[in-house]
A = this chain, B = another copy of it.
């Protein structure tokens, strides 16, 4: 009897606790950041269904989850060739001026359209799959808004959506969450500015902030059309995302400049993406043999194989000339590498390639923990100068050690936080209590423009009435005086 009671309560408890989660990730390094959360949610007994295309760069089955795939009209080889093309385009532009960076921003928006479209048709117009997803009766969706297809699916299924993201190019996260972004000290994406800007930079930044809605409209032109078609009403990606239950920000203030947040933003930056594995015997021997000089770790992320040969030669030329003094880290400034660098307290030489990497680099350079080089005009000499600087100048090591201590000192691990809040949304069918009333105001109301007009109207009326009253009194007195004079 007691045993049955235990079983029954376990069953009830299980039903009450475990949820059904739909996951639609984004490709490349984006999936690396989401995978640990998804696997941990599965391990905790939730039913997690991950939907990925048949061809992708990095996405595939994960532990403790169900994976559903759908056919797409491209192959993995085509994806890689496409990315190499894009990399070559971006790498060949000199982005040392604000105008050039603005052009790169526009180019990036247009290039990203291809990402957005890539999976949209394969998933959204796959009737069998969409029907299957509907039958699952999910409690929530966890998706990467980098590819807005997940947002559209969430809206189609009418389930609460959690967006896990790094830096979104058009700033749709702050736009859709109604998060204040003062243009005077919060740099816009792809400006490469820090939080200390001069008058010119603040001007560029304000213009970029004002262009945000236009940029998002440009980025999501086709996505908006597809969303309207799937949902059978006129809508936009920004509108859909404004209904987000939560925003998981893959960021941390040991790295990101301090700026306002909304209550439904959860900072989960610096989550360990995978457990450290022991080194291979060959690497182990290499590291142990490095002696007093230490060693340098060099990586340019998942796209290293696409680097032009001439550039590669410059790297090897520089490496030949250093005695591998203290530990340093050469990186392209992708978000995973950055947090590994911070976490392990290693000074960095950063060679940003594209996307948010240029912004990331500025954040670390301004903290005095990294030096940056441009891939556009990289030479072995420049690389050597930068490497020697971060290795020999002790201040880099001191500052990164401090940053590492701050970053690692937290009340709760980012992974646990992400898992908790995902389950929270499943338990409470959303997070309505974190949704600001700002969403119910239009642009004019939000900025109190109608109030200012109203207050001005009152002021003008008061002045007008006062002046007329004064004039009336004045005329009366004046007439009397004239009359008296005549008398």
Contacts and interface: CB of A to CB of B under 8 A. Distances in A.
Interface of A: 179-180, 182-185, 195-196, 199, 202-203, 206-207, 253-254, 257-264, 403, 405-406, 409, 411-412, 416-417, 420-421, 424, 427-428, 433-438, 440-441, 445-448, 450-452, 454-455
13 contacts: A179-B260, A180-B260, A182-B438, A182-B448, A184-B438, A195-B437, A203-B454, A258-B262, A258-B263, A258-B264, A405-B428, A409-B424, A411-B417
B184 A441 contact: yes
A454 B440 CA distance: 33
Nearest to A263: B258
A448 B196 contact: no
A447 B258 contact: no
A263 B261 contact: yes
User: Quick one: which of A185, A261, A427 has the most chain B CB within 10 A?
Assistant: A185
A306 B207 CA distance: 58
A451 B199 contact: yes
Contacts of A203: 451, 454-455
B433 A258 contact: yes
Contacts of A185: 436-438, 440-441, 446
A199 B451 CA distance: 7
A211 to B, nearest CB: 13
Contacts of A183: 448, 451
A416 B411 CA distance: 8
Contact of A447 (B184, B196, B257): B184
Contact of A199 (B195, B257, B450): B450
A203 B445 CA distance: 11
A256 to B, nearest CB: 9
Oligomer: number of copies: 2
User: Quick one: which of A183, A207, A438 has the most chain B CB within 10 A?
Assistant: A438
A440 to B, nearest CB: 7
A258 B435 contact: yes
A261 to B, nearest CB: 5
Contacts of A258: 262-264, 433-437
Contacts of A450: 199, 202
B448 A202 contact: yes
A195 to B, nearest CB: 4
Nearest to A418: B411
A126 B207 CA distance: 54
B447 A254 contact: no
Given A206-B448, A411-B417, 8 more contacts: A180-B180, A182-B448, A203-B451, A258-B433, A259-B263, A260-B262, A411-B412, A412-B412
A257 B409 CA distance: 30
A455 B207 contact: yes
Contacts of A202: 445, 448, 450-451
Contacts of A434: 253, 258
Given A184-B445, A454-B199, A409 B437 contact: no
Contacts of A416: 411
User: Quick one: which of A435, A440, A441 has the most chain B CB within 10 A?
Assistant: A441
A184 B441 CA distance: 8
Contact of A409 (B207, B403, B428, B445): B428
A185 B180 CA distance: 13
User: Quick one: which of A259, A411, A454 has the most chain B CB within 10 A?
Assistant: A411
A42 B118 CA distance: 58
Contact of A263 (B253, B436, B437): B253
A441 B445 CA distance: 27
A428 B406 contact: yes
Contacts of A435: 258
B257 A437 contact: yes
Contacts of A253: 263, 433-434
A437 B196 contact: yes
Contacts of A180: 180, 182, 260
Contacts of A454: 199, 203
A404 to B, nearest CB: 12
A174 to B, nearest CB: 11
A259 B257 CA distance: 20
A249 to B, nearest CB: 11
A345 to B, nearest CB: 15
A261 B260 contact: yes
Nearest to A203: B451
A420 B182 CA distance: 30
A212 to B, nearest CB: 14
